[in-house]
């Protein structure tokens, strides 16, 4: 009993496994009753979600501070602002998104008396599994799409951001229709049990390894999936790049949320002629952003757990003899989960863990590559397809050559990370960095079935289409 109590205390809020089928049944019944389909329900829920955001700003901020040391400006810029933008767009647009789109009809199908339309319908009961690094936006942005598209949903936030997870579990049922939307807190056993159920769509954001687990589980019922995964996003800095701009943008993309960002520049490939100048520019910009003491800077975050911090330390320590520290790499505080911004140099041939695993922390490897444009294409294409690709150059031809030759989920030229803030752009990976896309209208599409609908008048019933297909008929075709 004492042991059970201890487990309960450790995981007091996790969903009880035996309750999962019952919750699924009731959500499925709600979906089948049709309540989520009308525009009014969708709009009502989206407005409720907006109210949930607006009325609880202090609570969201406190939870993000407790889980990730995110200051209020960072919380807004990185998470809450994005959720509000998606909500605003969905509220303004869901009516038009729901309207069927009329498309062309081929002449052979008697154009004029036939109407062809693409309709959308909700998929049904969807599971949204989210990670800890942006624990609110990566849970709620997909939920905006799921609701706008008229689905019932279960949200499974990450157990590694427990404050955000429990706040979502508290607030979502109070603001949203509890017959149709549920939050299931839990870790691997709970997620595994959820994945054993029959879903109509699974939307997973997380690591490539767990993405494989999700994909395999989904195969059992042929459930469609969206996999928003990670990987090593390269950043190429050409000899003609504006170094001051490049350094500021790379550093802000990399050290935002201490590198725990799926689209953070993972490593830099730089033309050898400007390597020293780029390193110098980065070294100048880091204290400008975070003061000479990032530990005391409210804009500098923390690593999610001691285990994750130890992994980052190991990435540096294991191959120390092959790495040259250019900046930082020393100040680490396991109790405070702090790691300082770190720049390291390694050779293009370096094969250590730092260049095999997604770094997901404030360590930026810098690799000088002769014949940069062609060599970086080979370098990137020898590795799994990244989630993002960043090119800093003043020459359009260089940017086009690299982005044209290397596949990636998305790319930016002379920028990084910000493509995900434009909801008019699809956000998603390719190959090992994921499948499917969302944000803005793409989120609606992600959670909808696109359905062909053909509607034909009865006035003509052309004999030509019916058997027997005589030579005379065929001659007319």
Q: Is the peptide bond before 212 cis (omega within 30 degrees of 0)?
A: no
Residue 155 touching ligand NAD (CB under 6 A): no
* DSSP code per residue over 162-222: HHHHHHHHHHHHHHS-TTTEEE---SHHHHHHHHTS--SEEEEES-HHHHHHHHHHHHTTT
Residue 361 touching ligand NAD (CB under 6 A): no
- Please report which helix (H) or strand (E) contains residue 451, including its range: strand 448-456
Q: Are strands 363-368 and 410-413 parallel, antiparallel or unpaired?
A: unpaired
The region of 62-70, 80-88, 117-125, 201-209 touching ligand NAD under the rule CB under 6 A is 201-209
- Between 242 and 357, CB nearer to ligand NAD: 357
Task: Please select the residue that binds ligand NAD; options are 210, 377, 405, 413, rule is CB under 6 A.
Answer: 210
**What Rg, from alpha-carbon coordinates, does the chain have?**
25
Catalytic residue check, 358: no
Residue 362 touching ligand NAD (CB under 6 A): no
Q: Give 159's contacts (C-beta < 8 A, 6+ positions apart).
A: 14, 132, 165, 185, 186, 187
CA distance 332 to 109: 70
Residue 133 touching ligand NAD (CB under 6 A): yes
Task: Please select the residue that binds ligand NAD; options are 159, 242, 319, 415, rule is CB under 6 A.
Answer: 159
CA–CA distances in Å: residue 231 to residues 137, 175, 345: 20, 35, 20
Residues 184/15, Cβ–Cβ less than 8 Å: yes
Tally of CA atoms within 13 A in the half-sphere of 162 that contains its CB = 8
Residues 177/195, Cβ–Cβ less than 8 Å: no
CA distance 200 to 453: 21
Least distance from C-beta 46 to ligand NAD, angstroms?
21
Least distance from C-beta 81 to ligand NAD, angstroms?
17
Interface of this chain with ligand NAD, residues 295 to 354, rule: CB under 6 A: none
Closest listed residue to residue 415, CA positions, set 300, 254, 231, 258: 254
Give the largest Cα separation in the chain, rounded.
88
Task: Please select the residue that binds ligand NAD; options are 132, 175, 203, 267, rule is CB under 6 A.
Answer: 132
- Between 124 and 410, CB nearer to ligand NAD: 410
Task: Please select the residue that binds ligand NAD; options are 142, 206, 386, 436, rule is CB under 6 A.
Answer: 206
Least distance from C-beta 264 to ligand NAD, angstroms?
8
- Between 98 and 155, CB nearer to ligand NAD: 155
CA distance 98 to 123: 13
Least distance from C-beta 322 to ligand NAD, angstroms?
24
Beta bridge partners of 368: 270
Residue 262 touching ligand NAD (CB under 6 A): yes
- Between 79 and 228, CB nearer to ligand NAD: 228
Least distance from C-beta 291 to ligand NAD, angstroms?
27
Interface of this chain with ligand NAD, residues 174 to 193, rule: CB under 6 A: 187-188, 191-192
Task: Please select the residue that binds ligand NAD; options are 162, 426, 429, 436, rule is CB under 6 A.
Answer: 429
Least distance from C-beta 240 to ligand NAD, angstroms?
30
Least distance from C-beta 263 to ligand NAD, angstroms?
7
- Between 135 and 150, CB nearer to ligand NAD: 135
Q: What are phi and psi of 15, to 5 degrees?
A: -65, 135
Residue 156 touching ligand NAD (CB under 6 A): yes
Residue 205 touching ligand NAD (CB under 6 A): yes
- Between 68 and 343, CB nearer to ligand NAD: 68
Number of residues that bind ligand NAD (CB under 6 A): 27
Task: Please select the residue that binds ligand NAD; options are 43, 113, 213, 405, rule is CB under 6 A.
Answer: 213
Structure tokens that stand for 40 in this block: 């009014």
Least distance from C-beta 207 to ligand NAD, angstroms?
3
Residue 78 touching ligand NAD (CB under 6 A): no
- Between 30 and 432, CB nearer to ligand NAD: 432
Interface of this chain with ligand NAD, residues 385 to 424, rule: CB under 6 A: 387
Strands (E), 36-124: 101-103, 114-122
Task: Answer left, alpha or beta for residue 21, where phi above 0 means left and psi between -120 and 50 means alpha.
Answer: alpha
Residues 383/432, Cβ–Cβ less than 8 Å: no
Residue 129 touching ligand NAD (CB under 6 A): yes
CA distance 33 to 25: 12
From 79, 185, 190, 228, the catalytic residue: 228
The region of 113-121, 152-160, 280-288, 394-402 touching ligand NAD under the rule CB under 6 A is 152-160
Residue with tokens 């609701």: 147
Residue 82 touching ligand NAD (CB under 6 A): no
- Between 164 and 399, CB nearer to ligand NAD: 164
CA–CA distances in Å: residue 129 to residues 94, 140, 383: 24, 11, 27
Binding site for ligand NAD (CB under 6 A): 129-133, 138, 156, 158-159, 187-188, 191-192, 205-207, 210, 213, 228-230, 262, 358, 360, 387, 429, 434
Point out the residues that are catalytic. Answer: 228
């Amino acid at each position: 009993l004492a042991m059970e109590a201890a487990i309960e205390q450790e995981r007091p809020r996790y969903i009880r496994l035996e309750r999962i089928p019952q919750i699924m049944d009731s959500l499925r019944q709600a979906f089948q009753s049709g309540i989520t389909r009308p525009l009014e329900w969708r709009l009502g829920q989206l407005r409720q979600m907006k109210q949930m955001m607006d009325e609880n700003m202090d609570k969201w901020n406190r939870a993000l501070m407790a889980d990730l040391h995110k200051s209020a400006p960072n919380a807004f810029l990185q998470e809450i602002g994005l959720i509000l933008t998606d909500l605003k767009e969905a509220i303004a647009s869901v009516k038009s998104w729901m309207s069927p789109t009329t498309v062309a009809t081929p002449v052979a199908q008697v154009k004029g008396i036939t109407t062809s339309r693409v309709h959308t319908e909700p998929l049904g009961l969807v599971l949204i599994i989210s990670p800890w690094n942006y624990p609110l936006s990566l849970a709620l942005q997909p939920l905006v799409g799921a609701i706008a598209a008229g689905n019932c949903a279960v949200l499974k936030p990450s157990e590694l951001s427990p404050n955000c997870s429990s706040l979502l579990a508290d607030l979502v049922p109070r603001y949203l229709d509890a017959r149709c939307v549920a939050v299931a807190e839990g870790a691997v056993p709970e997620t595994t049990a959820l994945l054993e159920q029959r879903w109509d769509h699974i939307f997973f954001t997380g690591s490539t390894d767990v993405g494989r687990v999700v994909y395999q589980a989904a195969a059992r019922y042929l459930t469609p999936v969206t996999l928003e995964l990670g990987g090593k996003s390269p950043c190429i800095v050409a000899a003609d790049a504006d170094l001051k701009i490049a350094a500021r943008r790379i550093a802000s993309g990399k050290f935002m949320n201490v590198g725990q960002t799926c689209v953070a520049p993972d490593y830099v490939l730089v033309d050898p002629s400007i390597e020293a100048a780029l390193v110098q520019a980065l070294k100048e910009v880091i204290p400008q952003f975070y003061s000479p003491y990032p530990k005391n800077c409210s804009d500098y975050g923390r690593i999610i757990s001691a285990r994750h911090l130890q992994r980052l330390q190991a990435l540096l320590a294991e191959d120390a003899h092959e790495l040259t520290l250019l900046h930082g790499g020393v100040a680490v505080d396991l109790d405070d989960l702090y790691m300082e911004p770190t720049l390291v140099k390694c050779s293009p041939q370096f094969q250590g863990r730092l260049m095999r695993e997604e770094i997901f922390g404030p360590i930026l490897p810098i690799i000088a590559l002769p014949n940069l444009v062609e060599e970086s294409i080979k370098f990137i294409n020898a590795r799994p397809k990244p989630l993002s690709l960043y090119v800093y150059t003043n020459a359009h031809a260089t940017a086009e050559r690299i982005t044209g030759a290397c596949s990636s989920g998305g790319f930016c030229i002379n920028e990084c990370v910000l493509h995900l803030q434009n909801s008019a752009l699809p956000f998603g990976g390719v190959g090992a960095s994921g499948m499917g896309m969302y944000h803005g209208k793409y989120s609606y599409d992600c959670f909808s079935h696109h359905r062909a609908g053909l509607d034909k008048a009865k006035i003509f019933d052309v004999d030509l289409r019916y058997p027997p297909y005589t030579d005379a008929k065929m001659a007319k075709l």
